[in-house]
Amino acid sequence: MISAARRPRVLVVDDNVAFLDNLQELLSDAGYDVSIAATCQAARERAKGGFDLALVDLRLPDGDGTVLAAELKGGSPESEVVLLTGFATLETAMAAVRAGACAYLMKPCAPQELLLTLEQAMRQVRLQAEKRELARRAQVTEKLAAVGTMTAGLSHEIRNPLNAAALQLSVLERRVRKLAEEQQVPLLEPLSLVRDEIRRLDHILEDFLQFARPREFKPERVEVEPLLRRVVDLLAGQAESRKVRLEVTIPSPSFQVSAEEERLRQVLINLALNAVDATPEGGVVHVSGGEDDRGVWVMVDDSGPGIPVALRDRIFEPFFTTKAQGSGLGLSIAHSIMVQHGGALEVGEVPGGGARFVLRLPKAAPVLAKPLG
């Protein structure tokens, strides 16, 4: 489903075919997604598909394992490399460290020892990924705080003249409507374009003000099913005009979260609008929700092009947009609202393409029955 849930990928590089076969079986049984290579050249090719761990033999027919290890680590710093060696000397240990390997194993090694070493290396990979995620969140929060302060004043200053302009526009429209029919048409068209632009500016200001108004957070019990249905109803017109089907599936209808309904609705609208935007004519946007032992989840799937892995961190940054008319605030607002709720917002992909956004929220506390008497 989402990146955290996939099987760890291990790349095994060794020129001994029987050994490769054995390892492939052992590691697949242990839950790894295994790819194999018998030469440096083949390993470079395989590594392009991505890997979490590489297990590399020191002696390879077309090169030195330590050189390959350094190369693999350089190309994928978030991954870890374990070196395999036929004999242990101080030199091999030092070469392993220089190559950036996190461990090295002596051949032949017992399956248990091998699995344990890979498990430890995988723990390292996950720890690094968590650290990167924390650093990214801290960066986003910092940026949001700066944006909030800056926009508080600016938004007010812009809003007043904008409201005045909208008011004058209504006056103008009323006067035009009093003219003869044939004079009205050429005047009303540009007026309606100006109104659309003013509405767009107003929408952007509303987004900005979300940062600037640090309101108190007051969570209540919110029924998820009716909320999802209302959001889908609200966007039905927009989806229809773009010829996108908007569906909602809720396996178990009655579940509640602890949330502020208005803000949660805003998160869902932002996600669903993005999904509708990204989906081509004839496509589907699918909203679903349910409960598991981690809490409540809501998923927004679309059948658009998906989000390239390289952009998945950036889309949550304030002002990051690929749309000519976008403010790039939708997802950063959604993300900060989810953090405020003690939840999370993750991005992934739908099997077969398309973007998938997953919200996680804490369940509402159970209602305690009143004692009798």
Ligand X SMILES: Nc1ncnc2c1ncn2[C@@H]1O[C@H](COP(=O)(O)OP(=O)(O)OP(=O)(O)O)[C@@H](O)[C@H]1O
Q: Which residues contact ligand X (rule: CB under 6 A)?
A: 207, 270, 274-275, 278, 302, 304, 307, 315, 320-323, 326-332, 355
Backbone angles phi, psi at 36, to 5 degrees: -125, 155
Pick between residue 189 and residue 281 the one whose CB is nearest to ligand X.
281
274 binds Mg ion (CB under 5 A): yes
How near is the Cβ of 270 to Mg ion at its closest, in Å? 5
Q: How many residues bind Mg ion (CB under 5 A)?
A: 2
**Applying CB under 5 A, which part among 76-84, 271-279, 284-292, 307-315 lies near Mg ion?**
271-279
Tell me the closest approach of the beta carbon of residue 294 to ligand X, in angstroms: 23
Burial status of residue 331 (CB atoms within 10 A of its CB: 0-12, 13-18, 19 or more)? buried
- Alpha-carbon distance 130 to 117, whole Å? 20
Looking at residue 363, the DSSP 8-state letter turns out to be B
**Least distance CB 300 / ligand X (angstroms):** 7
CB of 235 to ligand X, least distance (A): 13
Neighbour count for residue 141 (Cβ, 10 Å)? 14
Binding partner selected for residue 11 from Mg ion, ligand X, none, CB under the kind-specific 5 to 8 Å limit: none
For Mg ion, which is the closer residue by CB, 318 or 330? 330
53 versus 334: smaller Cβ distance to Mg ion: 334
- Partner whose binding site includes residue 329, from Mg ion, ligand X, none (CB under 5 to 8 Å by kind): ligand X
Burial 184-200 (b: 16+ CB within 10 A, else e): eeeeeeeeeeeeeeeee
- Residue closer to ligand X, measured from CB, 356 or 360: 356
- Give me the least distance between CB of 312 and Mg ion, in Å please: 15
Total residue count of the chain as it appears in this document: 373
Nearer to ligand X, 11 or 307 (CB): 307
| Binding partner of 343, given Mg ion, ligand X, none, CB within 5-8 angstroms per partner class | none
Alpha helix ranges (H) inside the chain: 17-29, 40-47, 65-75, 90-98, 111-177, 181-212, 224-241, 261-278, 330-340
Please identify, using beta-carbon distances, which residue of 85 and 274 lies nearer to ligand X: 274
The Cα-based distances of 66 to 44, 72, 106, 274, 328 in angstroms read 14, 10, 15, 46, 44
Residue 279 is a binding residue for Mg ion (CB under 5 A): no
Strand 33-37 vs strand 9-13: parallel, antiparallel, or unpaired?
parallel
Residues in 318-337 that interact with Mg ion by CB under 5 A? 330
Rounded CA gap, 63 and 288, in Å? 51
In the bound state with Mg ion, the residue whose beta carbon lies nearer, of 9 and 265, is 265
Of Mg ion, ligand X, none, which one sits near residue 323, judging by CB under 5 to 8 A according to partner kind? ligand X
**46 vs 86: CA distance, rounded Å:** 24
Cα dist from 282 to 150, 243, 248, 300, whole Å: 42, 6, 17, 17
- DSSP string for 237-273: HHHHHTT-EEEEE-SS---EEEE-HHHHHHHHHHHHH
Q: Smallest distance from the beta carbon of 274 to Mg ion, in angstroms?
A: 4
Q: CB of 297: closest distance to ligand X in angstroms?
A: 17
Q: Which CB atom, from 256 or from 274, has the smaller least distance to Mg ion?
A: 274
Which C-beta is closer to ligand X: that of 131 or that of 213? 213
In the complex, what is the shortest distance from the CB of residue 210 to Mg ion, in angstroms, rounded to a whole number? 13
Partner in contact with 302, chosen from Mg ion, ligand X, none, beta carbon below 5 to 8 Å by kind: ligand X
User: What values do phi and psi take at 65, rounded to 5?
Assistant: -60, -35
What minimum distance in Å lies between the beta carbon of 191 and ligand X? 24
Q: Which does 54 bind (CB under 5 to 8 A by kind): Mg ion, ligand X, none?
A: none
Residue 304 binding Mg ion, by CB under 5 A: no
- List residues near Mg ion by CB under 5 A: 274, 330
